[in-house]
Structure 1
Amino acid sequence: MSNVFDCRDEEQLLTGMRRARQAIGRGDLIVLPTDTVYGVAADAFSPAAVQRLLDAKGRGRNQPPPVLVSGPATLGALVESVPEAVQRLVDAFWPGGLTIVLPAQRSLTWDLGETQGTVAVRMPDSRVTLELLEETGPLAVSSANLTGKDAAIAASDAVEMLGDKVSVYLDTGMSRDGIASTIVDATALVPRGDDSPAPVVRILREGAVTREQLEEVLGDLLEPEERPGDVDPDDVSDGTA
């Protein structure tokens, strides 16, 4: 039976965090709060755990989960490089509702799905989750819902959809924002030789961070707004936390 811990109660918080760490260590799934929506999480470096996450949501390997980190230093360890413009985004919006896609560090031994050599990374603005990430390391996380359903903005929503597929639920009340993170593709900022695409940042999904906010930081490096129909729906994850 799944365990739900009310992290607004100090005693339950301590127990819940311990159980969550143990669950991640076993390769089980947990549900945790973020500043956007609740997420379902697994050890990013356990292929079996990541597959369990995808199965729980009813998703295929063509929709790999993003990775949550405890701070900007971990971003540098997961990606090939951090371009100056990406550092500006990190300084402006982390911790917060911005997920950044970059080429993954080639030396990492993990399997998040069909990523085409990239990884989507975010630092959430949640004290509970950041403390957990400090102890577990990076977690593969997607919104705590079944594919096609609304993202969970309360732990009870996640329990209703995911039930015993998840070992531990960390409940901090209603999500502060309830809007999923904005996802940007910054892979073009990392040179790939003569055939490299134009060095711009592309918005894959608008969410908690607005286009206007991104423009203030990136200026002309932000790709012009797409016309309806220009974006391949397979490029946009349904339910990234």
Structure 2
Amino acid sequence: MSLIRIKDATDPATWGPAIDEAVHAISRGDLVVFPTDTVYGIAADAFTPSAVQALLDAKGRGRQMPPPVLMPDARTLDGLATDVPDSARALAEAFWPGGLTLIVRAQPSLAWDLGETYGTVALRVPDHPVALALLRRTGPLAVSSANRTGRAAGRTVEEAYTQLGASVPIFLDGGEIPGGVASTIVDATGDVLRIVRPGAISLEALRAVAPVEDVAPDGAAPDDNAPDDTAPNDAAPNDAAPDVARPVPGDLDR
């Protein structure tokens, strides 16, 4: 394995050049792999459709499984979403950064193409220093788990490289990710908040902040972000959306 494209990002005192290279790669429309609080993720500029398509191609998945979007902080929420319920804002304030993904209505004026989202977007603020250092420089990124569809998500940069090395120019090595539990996905686009995939944040913890209904009986959780979420395998048979109008992202969020 060539290590030329794997950049050390384990120490904030020395990771500056590695973050710089990753920022430049994103600005060129290239892909970057980096650690999140759950698993390694593969990222593209959310506002460059060709880069998002390259991400989907690298994973071997179609537009019907759009990636979630990771943000540097909760203040970005209103720039990307509209009609966000107060109850969803309360969850964001309580659990971001961390293992909560919110499906919300996307701002209709945004010039992006994440796939077949039906006017929604899945948003999360990850709780990992490398991820946040990168996102503060790039702004929102479309992120999915760093693995080929149907294979286990990488918990080390070497595992991610083995699967995606041919399609990604820059890998940020943040060490092994303890992770292993995907983010909890809450749909905030309907009349009530509803879990569509259980994960890192329990229903009890959510209900201590806002009224949230349990998983829809016909629905179940896809592995939305193998990089940051639940199961290490993002090709679960229920990757399909529980509701055609409000699809669950196919994988990143972990």
> What's the TM-score, normalizing by structure 2?
0.84
Aligned with 1:41: secondary structure?
Answer: strand
Change (3 A) 1:173 1:186: same
Note if contact 1:180-1:239 (Cα within 8 Å) is conserved in structure 2: no
Note if contact 2:185-2:196 (Cα within 8 Å) is conserved in structure 1: yes
1:240 paired to 2:242: no
- What is the aligned residue count? 227
Structure 2 residues without counterparts, runs of 5 or longer = 221-237, 242-247
Which letter maps to 2:206?
L
Task: Measure how far apart 1:125 and its partner are.
Answer: 0.6
1:197-236 deviation line (CA, Å, top 9, x unaligned):
xx211212112112222222223xx224444xx2162024
Query: In the alignment, what sits opposite 2:233?
Result: none
Aligned with 1:76: secondary structure?
Answer: helix
1:223 paired to 2:213: yes
Return the alpha-carbon distance in structure 2 between the equivalents of residues 85 and 97 of structure 1: 17
Note if contact 1:61-1:114 (Cα within 8 Å) is conserved in structure 2: yes
2:102 paired residue among 96, 100, 103: 100
After superposition, residues 104-183 of structure 1 pair within 5 angstroms as 104-183=106-185
Return the alpha-carbon distance in structure 2 between the equivalents of residues 10 and 134 of structure 1: 14
Which letter maps to 1:239?
D
Change (3 A) 1:6 1:178: farther
1:27 paired to 2:29: yes
- Give me the CA root mean square deviation: 1.7
Aligned with 1:173: secondary structure?
Answer: coil
Structure 1 residues without counterparts, runs of 5 or longer = 189-198
Query: In the alignment, what sits opposite 2:226?
Result: none
Which letter maps to 1:223?
E
Which letter maps to 2:251?
G
Task: Measure how far apart 1:10 and its partner are.
Answer: 5.3
Note if contact 1:147-1:238 (Cα within 8 Å) is conserved in structure 2: no
Query: In the alignment, what sits opposite 2:205?
Result: 213
Task: Measure how far apart 1:187 and its partner are.
Answer: 0.5
Query: In the alignment, what sits opposite 1:192?
Result: none
Query: In the alignment, what sits opposite 1:42?
Result: 44
Which letter maps to 2:120?
T
Return the alpha-carbon distance in structure 1 between the equivalents of residues 14 and 62 of structure 2: 34
Task: Measure how far apart 1:238 and its partner are.
Answer: 4.7
Task: Measure how far apart 1:240 and its partner are.
Answer: 2.1
Task: Measure how far apart 1:170 and its partner are.
Answer: 0.8
Note if contact 2:203-2:214 (Cα within 8 Å) is conserved in structure 1: no
Note if contact 1:203-1:223 (Cα within 8 Å) is conserved in structure 2: yes
Which letter maps to 2:195?
I
Return the alpha-carbon distance in structure 1 between the equivalents of residues 214 and 133 of structure 2: 37
Task: Measure how far apart 1:81 and its partner are.
Answer: 2.8
- Fraction of identical pairs, as percent: 51
Note if contact 2:84-2:105 (Cα within 8 Å) is conserved in structure 1: no
Aligned with 1:108: secondary structure?
Answer: coil
1:14-37 deviation line (CA, Å, top 9, x unaligned):
221111011001101000111111
